[in-house]
A and B are shown apart, each in its own frame.
Chain A
């Protein structure tokens, strides 16, 4: 079956000219391709992003060469080797060329080895553990991220202690606050399905894997270091996206990385005010509730116009105080709201399914909520309506009474109101 004696395909001068022109087009084309690289990638907001983009740049150049080589040979074949109309003859009986075949096996093999080595180096460089991570005010602060359908919660296990000797935990909801040059290391845990924590501007992504809650889940880690982006005004915000399908609200499971210019700005604009708000919460339970409710993931499912929430997975909270007293016969508005937050199974609004995670005092995860927080949230929700069913005159007694009835817990309504005020430590989230 070999007919190598037959002539090899002859190359006409025209083909050489076309090949030369094509070579030129390719060089210009690849140049043109690479000039688009910054435009098709998000800003380079981390140290990692720079090396990943450099790798991509190399991939585009090599890919561009392969692309133009193959499309060029195709184009030349299509133009020069088309059968003349009415020509019934066959092409040359040319079966192959061992040398060529060796060449086009060895060269691609060499190229992929080169790319593998290059990728390996970038990978090792980007994943190298940093000496001091999450440095805030001289301390290494542990930052946990919790993914629940469909919201992110970031919590900072600060080194500070509240007057009761409890560690202060800042819950910053779907925002991660950091500053340029801080080596970030996050511990990721999911409360339900697999999620994937992706910050496009940082070029990092890591899945959150369900683990056994009894043994502390299955934490995964993600690391990056924010860097300055030319022309950016600080603090700058970059999106966090969930990249692994997690259900109905997957597309809106988003958040933000807020990058401050330096540690000073970070401390002044975020960290110290957050600690201050925990140590000295507003005396008015309604104002306190407005802060507390935004530390939880309620916005991932509920609509509430006054706070700009728009999600529709769960029932709307607009005007909740007008309806709360009529939902369940025999239950006051306060009792209904209190029960709905902590004992989510007890009553499901018709037309919705039971999807709400349980909030409560016994949890160690991001859904932990003590009785004082429940009191504040209830007080805030009681203001969401025109003719509230709540007993607004006797808020300070009606809501604690409802909590006592439903869960048998005493509420310290003087929580955070200055000297000597303290929480019942048995009810506080167990953080170590």
Chain B
């Protein structure tokens, strides 16, 4: 034992006094500069928006049960519904949800007391509620109906005030995203504890670092595009109006220069989560740690060179080939990650926790999104399926099969740290089964209807596709229902779950070397990271974990609740 670094000092009394207190619920409704409070604020609000966006998805599927208009009064009403669905899910759910986990976990993994700029952190969060109100308000005036991509001239000359509010809200969210990302970059590069080099940093931190670099570089382009859109809408400029010398492709180029990297903003943190969860729950080091970390950077870099594959049917034909090539190249770093994860669980001792199930679910679903991604990069085939349900299917495999599965994995994994209570594993498994199969049967058939000839964003479709859409609809309702299981599980476990203790998963990263939930200052003493964040399987690691358990054995007595 003598050679083992014990993570925390010995001021046991102080620890007991501070550590066991769970923040009162009212603290979450107030301005707070504590990254843990802010993380939960991000998390709860994003999850509420997930429910809103999910309800809209149910409306979409309800409308599509028949080939005619029935639920909706008009095509426009349907258009505004999916416009809001996309906007809410992307800007108000997935992106801020990763800010939630990033905020809560990253400073803890770095052994830091808070983010580098706590006030900026809080300010970034508090931009979200007004932005959300502005965007949702737009739904009740003359709603935006140009899709989340808001292509002019549909979004400029042919739509109402809701589109202006949409652009204003998205603008605010972009500002929030930039501020949050600057904070992450500074925190990760400057606040690592002694002994934690970049190459000893947990992979979630790598992923958040790559994500934040993308967000800081790309989001200003969104801001630029939205500014021009707003000027066209309210100030009579003609940036996107051909009659006044403007160009509609200008919007597509700037918008996708942000929005393609934004896909990685939404997926990379999930990949970071996956590295954590797969390693910890199969008790084995991450296979090829350096390549997993570097591939995040590789994806971030190549991700900036592929945007115009979203414009394969509008771009000048001779410009399409280069973007096909870059798009295919990005499959390589993504493949490295997939294989490294398989190498991680291969030969391990897999614990089938709910977090692990969702991480494995990510692997098996995301690979389909990756395969269809390469198919879509193949220009001649893309020409056929561009703007069809094939694409809808592809990006849901990436953003639901990828991001949302990773969000669930992260929820089950870190819930004990956030609340001090374990989630119900049986309910977690039921939730997984419903989500997995509901998801698969909702989105896989969409490939087929797309190839057969059904375009996306239509309320009225060829009756030949009715049965496919009914199958998709029924599966979608199962998927929608599965969400209630996790909602119940979260609420139930918050009050009734078994006490978690400091390190229920016996993980080596630093967030587990403090009480659950952590005290306001995160650690009582400066924590000492274990030399390898994923060094499972050695006696030294086992001794370290035993020492953590020993230190916190009385950290959070059940009686204190």
Contacts and interface: CB of A to CB of B under 8 A. Distances in A.
Interface of A: 1, 3, 6, 8-10, 40-42, 48, 51-52, 55-56, 59, 63, 66-67, 70-71, 73-74, 77-78, 81-83, 87, 89-97, 100-101, 104-105, 108-109, 112-113, 115-116, 118-120, 122-123, 126-127, 192-194, 196, 198, 200-201, 203-207, 209-214, 218, 239, 241-252, 312
Interface stretch (B22-30, B94-102, B123-131, B382-390): B382-390
Interface in B429-469: 447-448, 451-453, 455-462
A112 B374 contact: yes
Nearest to B372: A63
Given A67-B367, A119-B324, A203-B383, A41 B350 contact: no
B375 A63 contact: yes
A1 B195 CA distance: 13
A52 B384 contact: yes
Given A42-B453, A101-B340, A200-B384, A213 B243 contact: yes
Contacts of B236: none
Given A66-B367, A250-B458, A251-B458, A104 B336 contact: yes
Contact of B154 (A198, A211, A212, A247): A247
Given A1-B200, A239-B453, A105 B289 contact: no
23 contacts: A3-B535, A40-B451, A42-B453, A59-B374, A66-B370, A70-B338, A89-B283, A89-B349, A90-B541, A91-B536, A96-B340, A108-B331, A109-B332, A115-B377, A194-B248, A205-B383, A205-B386, A206-B313, A209-B314, A212-B242, A212-B245, A213-B243, A243-B456
Given A83-B349, A104-B339, A209-B249, A95 B289 contact: yes
Interface of B: 74-76, 79, 145-147, 151, 153-154, 157-158, 200, 241-243, 245, 248-249, 282-289, 291, 313-314, 317, 320-321, 324-325, 328-329, 331-332, 335-336, 338-340, 342-343, 345-352, 360, 363-364, 367-368, 370-372, 374-375, 377-381, 383-384, 386-388, 447-448, 451-453, 455-462, 531-532, 535-538, 541-542
A123 B379 CA distance: 7
Contacts of A40: 447-448, 451-452
A297 to B, nearest CB: 16
Given A96-B287, A115-B374, A77 B342 contact: yes
Contacts of A218: 242
Contact of A194 (B151, B329, B339): B151
Contact of A59 (B158, B375, B448, B536): B375
B385 to A, nearest CB: 9
B380 A55 contact: yes
Given A87-B349, A241-B453, A119 B285 contact: no
A298 to B, nearest CB: 18
A63 B541 CA distance: 40
Given A3-B538, A93-B536, A96-B288, 9 more contacts: A74-B345, A87-B349, A90-B283, A112-B332, A119-B377, A119-B380, A207-B313, A244-B313, A248-B74
Nearest to B150: A245
Given A70-B367, A247-B158, A91 B349 contact: yes
The 4 closest A-B pairs by CB, nearest first: A9-B347, A251-B458, A93-B537, A251-B460
A77 B158 contact: no
